[in-house]
A and B are shown apart, each in its own frame.
Chain A
Amino acid sequence: MKKPHILCIEDNPNDIALMERVFQKLISDLEVQFITNGQEAIEFLKSEKYKARKPKFILLDIKLPKANGLEVLKAVRADHGNSQIPVIMLSSSDRVDEIEKSYKLGCNSFIEKPKNFIALKKRLPLIVEYWYHNNI
Chain B
Amino acid sequence: MISASSLFPKQVDLNACDKEEIQFIQNIQDHGALVIIEVTSNRVVAKSESIEKHLSLKQTLILDKPFGEEFADLDLQKMIDLTSFGKPKFDVVTIANRQFTAIYHQVEKHLFVEFELANPSKGTYNQQAELSEIFAQLHTVDTDADMCNTAAKLIKNFTGYDRVMIYKFDEDWNGTVISEEKNASMESWLGVKYPATDIPQQARRLFLKQGVRLIGNINSKPLNIITNSKIRFDLSNCEFRSVSPVHIEYLSNMEVTATLTAAIIYKEQLWGLIACHNTTPKVVDYYQRSSCKFLAQVFSAQLGLRSSNTVLEKINNKNRVRATLVEQMSSSTNIVDGLTLKEAPLLNLVEASGAAVYFDGVLKRIGDTPPETAILELLRNINNTENDLFYTHNASQYFKNSETYKEIASGVLCAFISRSKADVILWFRPEKLKNVIWGGNIELEAKNHTDERISPRKSFKKWASQQKGCSEPWDDADLSAAVELKKNISEIILKKYDEIKKLNENLKNAYNELESFSYSVSHDLRAPLRGIDGFAQILKEDYYQSLDAYGKSAINTIIKSTNKMNTLIDDILSFSGLGKKSINVSLFKFDRLVIDVIQFINTKTLYPHSIINIEPNLGKIKGDRPMIFQLMYNLITNGLKYSAECNKPKITIGKENECYYVRDNGIGFNQKHANKIFGVFNRLVGDEYEGSGIGLSISKRVVEKHQGKIWAISEEGVGSTFYFSINDLLIE
Contacts and interface: CB of A to CB of B under 8 A. Distances in A.
Interface of A: 12, 14-15, 17-18, 21, 92-94, 113-118, 120
B530 A113 contact: yes
Contact of A92 (B526, B535, B537, B562): B526
Task: Please list the 4 inter-chain residue pairs (A to B) with the smallest Cβ-Cβ separation, ordered nearest first.
Answer: A14-B531, A117-B537, A117-B534, A18-B534
B563 interface: yes
A14 B530 contact: yes
B705 to A, nearest CB: 17
Interface residues of B, number: 17
Contacts of A115: 526, 529-530, 566
Interface string B553-593: 00000000011001000000100000000000000000000
A117 to B, nearest CB: 4
B538 A21 contact: yes
Nearest to A21: B538
A24 to B, nearest CB: 11
B523 A116 contact: no
Interface of B: 523, 526-531, 533-538, 562-563, 566, 573
Contacts, number: 50
Nearest to A116: B533
A15 B530 contact: yes
Contacts of B535: 14, 17-18
A15 B528 CA distance: 9
B724 to A, nearest CB: 27
A114 B563 CA distance: 12
A35 B375 CA distance: 79
Nearest to A93: B523
17 contacts: A14-B528, A14-B534, A15-B527, A17-B534, A18-B530, A18-B534, A21-B538, A94-B573, A115-B526, A116-B530, A116-B533, A116-B534, A116-B562, A117-B530, A117-B537, A117-B538, A120-B534
A86 to B, nearest CB: 24
Contacts of B562: 116
A14 B527 contact: yes
A85 B523 CA distance: 29
Nearest to A92: B526
A112 B720 CA distance: 37
Contacts of B523: 92-93
A120 B537 CA distance: 11
Contacts of A117: 530, 533-534, 536-538
Contacts of B528: 14
Contacts of A92: 523, 526-527
A118 B566 CA distance: 13
Nearest to A112: B526
A21 B537 CA distance: 11
A114 B573 CA distance: 16
A14 B531 CA distance: 5
A116 B526 CA distance: 9
B118 to A, nearest CB: 108
A113 B566 CA distance: 13
B527 A118 contact: no
Contacts of B563: 116
Most interface-central of A12, A21, A116 (chain B CB within 10 A):
A116
A113 B529 CA distance: 12
A17 B537 CA distance: 13
A113 B526 contact: yes
Given A115-B566, A116-B563, A12 B527 contact: yes
Contacts of A94: 573
Contacts of B526: 92, 113, 115
A118 B537 contact: yes
B306 to A, nearest CB: 78
Contacts of B529: 115-116
Contacts of A118: 537
Contacts of A116: 529-530, 533-534, 537, 562-563, 566
Contacts of A17: 534-535
Given A12-B527, A115-B529, A116-B563, 14 more contacts: A12-B531, A14-B528, A14-B531, A92-B523, A92-B527, A93-B523, A113-B526, A113-B530, A114-B530, A115-B526, A115-B566, A116-B530, A117-B536, A120-B530
A42 to B, nearest CB: 23
Given A92-B526, A118-B537, A18 B531 contact: yes
Contacts of B534: 14, 17-18, 21, 116-117, 120
A117 B530 CA distance: 7
A77 B491 CA distance: 61
Nearest to A11: B527
B225 to A, nearest CB: 102
A81 B527 CA distance: 33
A115 B573 CA distance: 14
A113 B528 CA distance: 13
A18 B528 CA distance: 12
A61 B478 CA distance: 76
Nearest to B520: A93
